[in-house]
Amino acid sequence: MNQRSDTTVRPVAEIRDLRVEVGGRAIVDGVSLRVLPGRVTALVGASGSGKTTTGLALLGEYPCDARVSGDVRLATDDAVGYIPQHPAAVLNPARRVSALLTDIARSQVRHLPRRQRRAAARERVLRALAEAQLPEGEALLRRHPHQLSGGQQQRVVLAQAMLLGSRVVVADEPTTGQDALTKSGIVDRLAAVAARGIAVVLLSHDLDVVRALADEVVVMRAGKVVESGPARRVWPAPRHPWTRELLSAEREFPEPDGRAGAGRTVLRIRGLTARHRTGARSTTVVLRAPELDLRSGESLALVGRSGSGKTTLARCLAGLHREHDGEILLDGVPLPGSLRDRSRAQLAAVQYVFQDAAAAFDEHRPVVHQVARTAIRLRGIDAKAAEQEALTTLNRLGLPEDQSRRRPGRLSGGELQRAALARALLAHPRVLVCDEITSGLDTITRRGILDTLTALVREREELSLVLITHDLDVAARARRIAVLEAGELVEQGPAQLILRAPSHPFTVSLMRTAARPAAGTGL
Amino acid sequence: MARVSGLRSFVARRLLLGALQIVAVVLLVFALTEALPGDAAVALAGDQPDPARIEAIRAAMELDRPAWERLADWVAGLLLHGDFGTSLTSGRPVGEYITDGFGPTLLLATLTVALLVPAGFGLGVLAARHEGRIVDRVISSVTLAVYAVPEFALGVLLVTVFALQLGWLPPTAVGYGTDLLGHPSALVLPVLVLLSRPVCSLVRLVRAGMIDALASPYVAQARRYGVAGVRVRYAHALPNALAPAAQQLARTIDWLLCGVIVVETLYVIPGLGTVLLGAVAERDVPVVQGLAVVFGALTVALNLGADVVAHRLAPRAGVAA
């Protein structure tokens, strides 16, 4: 970039001493921020630190019933572009992709004679799509949002901002829950936006992406800015202890659980082929796993991009995916393909923890009762003993009794995920399947949950873990790693070996893309 | 394209299913009319139920033949010649009954739908725009109150007020025959009664759907990017509220076309409802069956249409055959 010092460039947006109060509690308190053209300004912090509220203030949007003081100034009248965490949410499910784009373009061609307007608007839309790296715009405009991939949806939302001529684009957690390859695509896209002279405000707790992109870093905690400055200064020498903690949480590359010589084989998969129904009679094979073993006391990470068949494999284990051939043996006994045909002991033996903990709880009953229910249903113990055990387990996982007695709505995402773990543990499972259970959480919460898991496997000798993840940092905690690509099991082996010396080309590329954003630190 | 052929095969499957449904309706209606005590002969014999005379009428009308033979004859006539048969009581072709009755029914239905759609959608969107405020409260409570009044009660009330006390409108369509269009004043009260409940359910459905849609992130995005309010409401929010409303609208049209017996009887309108009522009273099996086929086909066609519209409006949901 050609800017020598920040003072010579006029900011395109500026926030001065912003304070947003909801119900008497300040969620953003005295935040000041300068957004420069062509630069990426990253707001970093754990969930609840006020990043999103600050970002939305640039769009002139505040939570309802908020009391706002301070200044938000924009250099131009152009609307600020917004790329939300889930781009699908801002695309109208009942309309074709072209609907909003055409409406935006139409307002820009009012000066033309009526007859030329339609063609001019269309041309603008196509140009904006091309700028957002969607060259095949014509065909794409006729589709509905659900017919696009996640990446295409994000690019369409980006094209809306391009079409609008926004000088500032706010991107809210654009990489959360994405795999390494998709992430690097998003990084490229945002870098290209900044290269056009547009100011990008990145709200993220994903430090890899922040490191790869950010020119300016603003670290937030509990609604306040604790540290801010150019990225090249903040990363190597963080001044505030909170920044240091945030960075160390990220950098730590833990040793996998080192217990030597795991026990005998608990789960044996032989010749597994899983299918999805695609029509009335046709099916497609979505997963082939000829051979995979899980030993007692071992943790196995299933790694791969989204859509590679990780979750399907786990669902076969749990009896949630019936359309499969081959054998899944638990202690040498074949498990029935469907949940319904499994005995209580078999049900208890394989437990599943889902990604979205909030959706996995009934919102109307206290958490502890829902956790205890597993023990009552699957182990047949009485309600009182079950509740006692639930409270003990929840407490062990870091949820004190008063929190356990609350309803799910009053717990945070991380706390709910701990409760979901406790609920699965109350079945006394042999195999615990964790399906992306940390991917929606911020760095510090994620580390807490992963530490808990590591401790669990160490403590309970009979427990084996299947970790489904696209995050290699998470996979690094497992003893063994199995890599899936397009439904094929391409590589498996000890974690150290796979991470240090991957042999399959896909695994190599996965490692490389994961390493790349971090390598951008030197900028 | 795969998607189009998917929709086409869905339509084909549904039409086949619809044909089976119509057959089932005909069989059921035939069985039920057979099961009723008495038949057309008894009805015709009237005040002199002399068993010998009833037997004679039965023989003349071929009612003494086995039930399945009569049904087979009727079905063969319908399939081979498109002939609905002839009425047992008057000897007129059933097709004539249907075409005569269909005119007034279609007229009432068309007028009602023409008023129902703008009123229902307009009021629904208006209420959703002012959610929780006075306009919304008035619309919501009035629609709920009107919905709670049965048609016959509302019909009688309207006749009492506007025809008998104020004398503004004729109380019934007696004497106008099937030429209702020549006497528009006779149509006002029946259309109002027909409109009353459907408009309420439609308004409430559209309101609920619009409130969800207006609070959605995609509407926020459209507003954020400077799309005008009217366009946001009607082009971006409303399509998402339409799918349930379209289903409800199809049910309403179905109800309007398949003989609105209470209203037609109350206002003495010679539509399909009146024809049906008369035919059942006289045990006129061919007429009842002919109407069953027409009503069945209409119901199948309208519901299929609504499902296709819903598929277009909520493409994600897919369609269940």
Instruction: Please list the helix, strand and coil fractions of chain A in percent, rounded to the nearest 5, in that order.
Output: 40, 25, 35
How many Cβ pairs closer than 8 A exist between chain A and B? Answer: 67
Portion 212-241 of B in contact with A at CB < 8 A: 216-222, 224-228, 231, 235-236, 239-240
Q: What is the pLDDT of residue A4?
A: 44
Q: What is the pLDDT of residue B318?
A: 45
Q: How many residues does chain A have?
A: 523
B141 — pLDDT class (breaks 50, 70, 90): very high
Measured CA distances, B58 to B43, B76, B88, B89 (Å): 11, 22, 10, 12
A256 or A22, higher pLDDT: A22
Q: What is the pLDDT of residue B242?
A: 84
CATH number of B102-283: 1.10.3720.10
- Give yes or no for residue A111 having a pLDDT over 80: yes
Average pLDDT, chain A: 82
Measured CA distances, A387 to A371, A372, A376, A377, A394 (Å): 8, 5, 9, 13, 10
* Nearest chain B CA: its distance from A175 CA (Å): 19
Inter-chain contact A90–B217, Cβ cutoff 8 Å?
Answer: yes
Average pLDDT over residues A423-438: 90
Q: What is the pLDDT of residue A256?
A: 46
- Give yes or no for residue B237 having a pLDDT over 50: yes
Q: What is the pLDDT of residue B205?
A: 92
Average pLDDT over residues A158-173: 88
Find the residue in A nearest to B241 (Cα): A94
Average pLDDT over residues A57-69: 85
Q: What is the pLDDT of residue B199?
A: 92
* Nearest chain A CA: its distance from B2 CA (Å): 11
Contact A197, A37 (CB under 8 A): yes
Q: Could you say which of B226, B227, B240 has the minimum Cβ distance to residue A94?
A: B240
| Least reliable range by pLDDT among A148-162, B80-94, B119-133, B217-231 | B80-94
- Residue A397's nearest CA partner among A411, A417, A381 is A417
Q: What is the pLDDT of residue B177?
A: 66
Instruction: Return d(Cα B209, Cα B241) in angstroms, integer.
Output: 4
Across A296-336, the runs of DSSP E, i.e. the strands, are 299-303, 324-330, 333-334
Segment holding A168, helix H or strand E: strand A168-172
Over the stretch B283-297, which tens digit does the pLDDT of each residue have?
777 788 888 888 888
Instruction: Return d(Cα A396, Cα A256) in angstroms, integer.
Output: 22
Tell whether B2 lies on the interface with A, counting CB pairs under 8 A.
no
Q: What is the pLDDT of residue A260?
A: 45
Side by side, which strands form the sheet with A224-230? A81-83, A168-172, A199-204, A40-44, A216-221, A224-230
Most B CBs within 10 A among A90, A125, A154, hence the mutation to make, goes to A90
Inter-chain contact A61–B315, Cβ cutoff 8 Å?
Answer: no
Contact A2, A36 (CB under 8 A): no
Tell whether B287 lies on the interface with A, counting CB pairs under 8 A.
no
Tell whether A79 lies on the interface with B, counting CB pairs under 8 A.
yes
Instruction: Return d(Cα A45, Cα A233) in angstroms, integer.
Output: 17
Contact B272, B106 (CB under 8 A): no
Inter-chain contact A94–B221, Cβ cutoff 8 Å?
Answer: no
Inter-chain contact B222–A146, Cβ cutoff 8 Å?
Answer: no
CA dihedral A193→A196→A201→A204, nearest 10 degrees, is: 30
Instruction: Return d(Cα B300, Cα A295) in angstroms, integer.
Output: 58
Over the stretch A178-203, which tens digit does the pLDDT of each residue have?
777 778 888 888 888 888 888 999 99
In chain B, domain spans: 102-283
- Give yes or no for residue B116 having a pLDDT over 90: yes
B114 — pLDDT class (breaks 50, 70, 90): very high
- Residue A420's nearest CA partner among A388, A463, A382, A452 is A452
Tell whether A511 lies on the interface with B, counting CB pairs under 8 A.
no
Most B CBs within 10 A among A91, A95, A153, hence the mutation to make, goes to A95
Measured between beta carbons, the chain A residues lying within 8 angstroms of B220 are 61, 90
* Nearest chain A CA: its distance from B217 CA (Å): 5
Most B CBs within 10 A among A52, A80, A85, A92, hence the mutation to make, goes to A92
Using the CB atoms, write b or e for A370-396: b if 16+ within 10 Å: bbbbbbbebbeeeeeebbebbbebbee
Average pLDDT over residues A375-381: 89
* Nearest chain A CA: its distance from B240 CA (Å): 6
Q: What is the pLDDT of residue A431?
A: 92
- Residue A277's nearest CA partner among A340, A323, A325 is A323
SS3 state of residue B285: helix
Inter-chain contact B236–A59, Cβ cutoff 8 Å?
Answer: no
Average pLDDT over residues A507-514: 74
Inter-chain contact B226–A84, Cβ cutoff 8 Å?
Answer: no
* Nearest chain A CA: its distance from B7 CA (Å): 13
- Give yes or no for residue A88 having a pLDDT over 70: yes
Over the stretch B256-278, which tens digit does the pLDDT of each residue have?
888 688 888 888 888 888 888 88
Using the CB atoms, write b or e for A315-349: b if 16+ within 10 Å: bbbbbebebbebebebeeeebebebeebeeebbbb
Contact A206, A173 (CB under 8 A): yes
Q: What is the pLDDT of residue A351?
A: 92
Over the stretch A318-355, which tens digit does the pLDDT of each residue have?
888 888 888 888 888 888 888 888 888 889 999 999 88
Measured between beta carbons, the chain A residues lying within 8 angstroms of B242 are 94
- Domains of chain A and any CATH numbers: 6-251 (3.40.50.300), 266-518 (3.40.50.300)
Please name every residue paired with A465 in a beta bridge, in sequence order, or none if there are none. Answer: A299, A432
- Give yes or no for residue B57 having a pLDDT over 50: yes
| Least reliable range by pLDDT among A238-242, A419-423, B125-129 | A238-242
CA dihedral A498→A501→A507→A508, nearest 10 degrees, is: 160
Instruction: Characterise A462 by phi-psi region: left (phi > 0), alpha (psi -120 to 50), beta (else).
Output: alpha
Using the CB atoms, write b or e for B148-169: b if 16+ within 10 Å: eeebeebbeebbeebbeeeeeb
Tokens 């339409």 belong to residue: B242
Tell whether A282 lies on the interface with B, counting CB pairs under 8 A.
no
A355 or A168, higher pLDDT: A168
A515 — pLDDT class (breaks 50, 70, 90): low
Measured between beta carbons, the chain B residues lying within 8 angstroms of A95 are 235-236, 239
Average pLDDT over residues A224-246: 82
Average pLDDT over residues A12-28: 85
Measured CA distances, A445 to A227, A414, B78 (Å): 21, 6, 73
Tell whether A59 lies on the interface with B, counting CB pairs under 8 A.
yes
A249 or A36, higher pLDDT: A36
Find the residue in A nearest to B242 (Cα): A94
Using CA of residue B136, residue B139, residue B145, residue B148, what is the dihedral sign? negative
Tell whether A520 lies on the interface with B, counting CB pairs under 8 A.
no
Contact A441, A418 (CB under 8 A): no
Q: Could you say which of A89, A107, A144 has the minimum Cβ distance to residue B218?
A: A89
Portion 123-182 of A in contact with B at CB < 8 A: 144, 146-147, 157, 160, 164
Q: What is the pLDDT of residue A432?
A: 92
Inter-chain contact A93–B315, Cβ cutoff 8 Å?
Answer: yes
Q: What is the pLDDT of residue A521?
A: 33
B138 — pLDDT class (breaks 50, 70, 90): very high
Q: What is the pLDDT of residue A200?
A: 92
B54 or A407, higher pLDDT: A407
Strands A40-44 and A216-221, how do they pair?
A: parallel
Average pLDDT over residues B175-185: 71
A255 — pLDDT class (breaks 50, 70, 90): very low
Q: What is the DSSP letter of A476?
A: T
Pair of tokens at residue A439:
């991917």
Instruction: Return d(Cα A265, Cα A272) in angstroms, integer.
Output: 17
Q: What is the pLDDT of residue B35?
A: 77
Tell whether B316 lies on the interface with A, counting CB pairs under 8 A.
yes
Contact A26, A223 (CB under 8 A): yes
- Give yes or no for residue B153 having a pLDDT over 60: yes
- Give yes or no for residue A433 having a pLDDT over 90: yes
- Residue A444's nearest CA partner among A216, A182, A242, A173 is A242
Average pLDDT over residues B229-244: 87
Q: What is the pLDDT of residue B11?
A: 82
Average pLDDT over residues A361-373: 90
Inter-chain contact B240–A93, Cβ cutoff 8 Å?
Answer: yes
Tell me the backbone φ, ψ of residue A166, rounded to 5 degrees: -60, 140
A278 — pLDDT class (breaks 50, 70, 90): low
Tell whether B13 lies on the interface with A, counting CB pairs under 8 A.
no
N-term to C-term CA, chain B? 20
Most A CBs within 10 A among B216, B218, B236, B313, hence the mutation to make, goes to B218
Average pLDDT over residues A506-516: 70
Measured between beta carbons, the chain A residues lying within 8 angstroms of B240 are 92-94
Contact A54, A43 (CB under 8 A): yes
Contact A44, A220 (CB under 8 A): yes
Q: Could you say which of B225, B228, B239 has the minimum Cβ distance to residue A95?
A: B239
* Nearest chain B CA: its distance from A360 CA (Å): 22
Instruction: Return d(Cα A209, Cα A203) in angstroms, integer.
Output: 10
Inter-chain contact A79–B225, Cβ cutoff 8 Å?
Answer: yes
Contact A470, A179 (CB under 8 A): yes
* Nearest chain A CA: its distance from B125 CA (Å): 17
Q: What is the pLDDT of residue A520?
A: 35
Inter-chain contact B222–A100, Cβ cutoff 8 Å?
Answer: yes
Measured between beta carbons, the chain B residues lying within 8 angstroms of A99 are 235-236
The ipTM (two decimal places) reads 0.70
Inter-chain contact B240–A90, Cβ cutoff 8 Å?
Answer: no
Average pLDDT over residues B108-126: 92
Measured between beta carbons, the chain A residues lying within 8 angstroms of B314 are 93-94
% of chain A beyond a pLDDT of 90: 8
Measured between beta carbons, the chain B residues lying within 8 angstroms of A128 are none
Average pLDDT, chain B: 82
Strands A81-83 and A168-172, how do they pair?
A: parallel
* Amino acid at residue number B240: N
Tell me the backbone φ, ψ of residue B237, rounded to 5 degrees: -85, -50
Q: Could you say which of A90, A103, A164 has the minimum Cβ distance to residue B218?
A: A90
Nearby residues of A368 by Cβ (< 8 Å), 6 or more positions away: A387, A390, A391, A394, A401, A404, A405
Measured between beta carbons, the chain A residues lying within 8 angstroms of B235 are 95, 99, 103
Over the stretch A446-487, which tens digit does the pLDDT of each residue have?
888 888 888 888 888 788 999 998 887 788 888 889 988 888
Find the residue in B nearest to A93 (Cα): B314
Tell whether A61 lies on the interface with B, counting CB pairs under 8 A.
yes
Q: What is the pLDDT of residue A522?
A: 32
A24 — pLDDT class (breaks 50, 70, 90): confident
- Give yes or no for residue A300 having a pLDDT over 80: yes
Tell whether B210 lies on the interface with A, counting CB pairs under 8 A.
no
Instruction: Return d(Cα A20, Cα B19) in angstroms, integer.
Output: 63
